[in-house]
C-alpha cells in the first residue's frame, strides 16, 4: 500500500514512526510533519524537556537504522488548505497514519485515502484526550498509561471509533518522557497489525469509545508542572537515561 505518515518533529513521534516503518517494511511511505506549533514553554522544566527532546532527535537521526523516508520528511502545516489537499492527493495514499501530528484533519483531507485515517493517540481514550496525556495520567496517579488506536472520521479531537488500546504500567521511578517512549512499541505493533489487515483487504473491527465523554487536556501550565514535580515526578532526565535501550 501507499501510506502517508503524519507526524511531528519531536522525539516521540519520530521514534514511533521509525518503529512502524521498520515493523511494516513492505509498504511505500511518504512522511509529512506538522511544522512548528506553540509558544514559549510555560515552565523551566518544560524548557529543559524541550532541550532533551532536541538531543533525542539528533540521536535518532544519527542512527543508521533511522528510515530514509523520515529523514526526507516535509512539513505540511496546513493540510486542509487547497495546497495541502493537493499535496496529500499527489501522494496517492491508500491509507493515512497519524502519530502525534499536531493539526486537525477535516473532511476533504480525511476523504483522500481509500482506507481512511488511523491515529495512534498517546493516551487511553476517552479518559485522556488532547495534549501530553501521559503527563496528565501520571499526575492523576494512574497505574496504567497507554496508547489508543482509532479512526479519524471527522474534525473532532481524539473522538473516533477505537480499534484497540495498548496499556502499559507506569514506571513511577521513570520520567514522563521515559514512560511515554516506553509505551510506543506496543502501540506501534497494534498499528502495524491494523495496516496488515487493511493490506489483506479485510475490514478493521472498531468499537465506539467507552460510554462517557472523557476529558480533553491542554498543554500543562506552570501550576500543573509544579504539582507534577512536587509529587516527586520528573519530566525528563537526559537523552541517555530516557531513551529506550533498544531502537
Band (pLDDT 50/70/90 cuts) for residue 40 is confident
Question: Among residues 198, 208, 206, which one has the least CA distance to residue 2?
Answer: 198
Cell of 172: 513511577
> What is the model's pTM?
0.96
Q: Is the pLDDT of residue 158 over 90?
A: yes
Q: Is the pLDDT of residue 70 over 80?
A: yes
Residues 41 and 125: beta-carbon distance below 8 Å: no
Band (pLDDT 50/70/90 cuts) for residue 245 is low
Q: Is the pLDDT of residue 246 over 70?
A: no
Q: What is the mean pLDDT of residues 32-59?
A: 93
Q: Distance between CA 30 and CA 76 in Å, rounded?
A: 12
Q: Is the pLDDT of residue 7 over 80?
A: yes
How high is the pLDDT of residue 1? 97
List pLDDT tens digits, range 205-240.
999 998 777 899 999 999 999 999 999 999 999 988
> Which CATH class name applies to 2-242?
alpha beta
Beta-strand pair 95-98/117-121: parallel
Q: Distance between CA 13 and CA 240 in Å, rounded?
A: 18
Residues 223 and 136: beta-carbon distance below 8 Å: no
Residue with cell 488506536: 149
Question: Among residues 163, 76, 180, 72, which one has the least CA distance to residue 117?
Answer: 163
Residues 76 and 84: beta-carbon distance below 8 Å: yes
Q: What is the mean pLDDT of residues 35-59?
A: 92
How high is the pLDDT of residue 214? 85
How high is the pLDDT of residue 99? 98
Residues 32 and 76: beta-carbon distance below 8 Å: yes
According to DSSP, residue 235 is labeled S
How high is the pLDDT of residue 210? 80
Band (pLDDT 50/70/90 cuts) for residue 197 is very high
Residues 44 and 56: beta-carbon distance below 8 Å: no
Q: Is the pLDDT of residue 27 over 80?
A: yes
Question: Among residues 217, 198, 189, which one has the least CA distance to residue 151?
Answer: 198
Band (pLDDT 50/70/90 cuts) for residue 25 is very high
Residue with cell 516527586: 232
How high is the pLDDT of residue 243? 84
List pLDDT tens digits, range 94-152.
999 999 999 999 999 999 999 999 999 999 999 999 999 999 999 999 999 999 999 99
Beta-strand pair 144-152/162-169: antiparallel
How high is the pLDDT of residue 247? 58
Backbone angles phi, psi at 31, to 5 degrees: -120, 135
Residue with cell 492523576: 140
Amino acid at each position: 500500500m501507499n501510506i502517508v505518515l503524519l507526524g511531528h518533529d519531536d522525539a516521540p513521534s519520530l521514534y514511533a514512526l521509525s518503529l512502524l516503518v521498520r515493523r511494516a517494511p513492505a509498504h511505500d511511505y511518504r512522511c509529512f510533519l506538522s511544522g512548528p506549533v506553540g509558544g514559549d514553554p510555560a515552565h523551566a522544566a518544560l524548557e529543559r524537556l524541550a532541550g532533551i527532546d532536541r538531543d533525542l532527535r539528533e540521536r535518532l537521526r544519527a542512527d543508521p537504522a533511522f528510515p530514509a523516508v523520515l529523514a526526507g520528511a516535509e512539513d505540511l502545516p496546513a493540510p486542509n488548505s487547497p495546497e495541502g489537499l493537493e499535496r496529500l492527493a499527489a501522494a496517492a495514499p491508500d491509507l493515512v497514519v497519524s502519530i502525534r501530528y499536531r493539526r486537525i484533519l477535516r473532511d476533504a483531507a480525511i476523504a483522500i485515502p481509500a482506507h481512511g485515517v488511523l491515529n495512534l493517540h498517546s493516551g487511553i481514550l476517552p479518559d485522556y484526550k488532547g495534549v501530553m496525556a501521559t503527563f496528565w495520567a501520571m499526575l492523576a496517579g494512574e497505574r496504567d498509561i497507554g496508547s489508543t488506536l482509532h479512526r479519524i472520521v471527522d474534525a473532532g479531537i481524539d473522538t473516533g471509533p477505537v480499534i484497540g488500546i495498548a496499556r502499559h504500567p507506569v514506571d513511577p521511578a521513570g520520567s514522563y518522557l521515559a514512560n511515554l517512549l516506553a509505551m510506543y512499541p506496543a502501540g506501534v505493533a497494534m498499528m502495524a497489525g491494523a495496516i496488515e489487515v487493511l493490506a489483506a483487504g479485510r475490514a478493521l473491527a472498531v468499537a465506539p469509545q467507552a460510554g462517557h465523554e472523557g476529558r480533553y487536556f491542554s498543554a500543562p501550565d506552570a501550576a500543573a508542572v509544579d504539582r507534577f514535580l512536587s509529587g516527586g515526578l520528573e519530566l525528563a532526565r537526559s537523552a541517555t537515561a530516557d531513551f529506550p535501550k533498544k531502537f
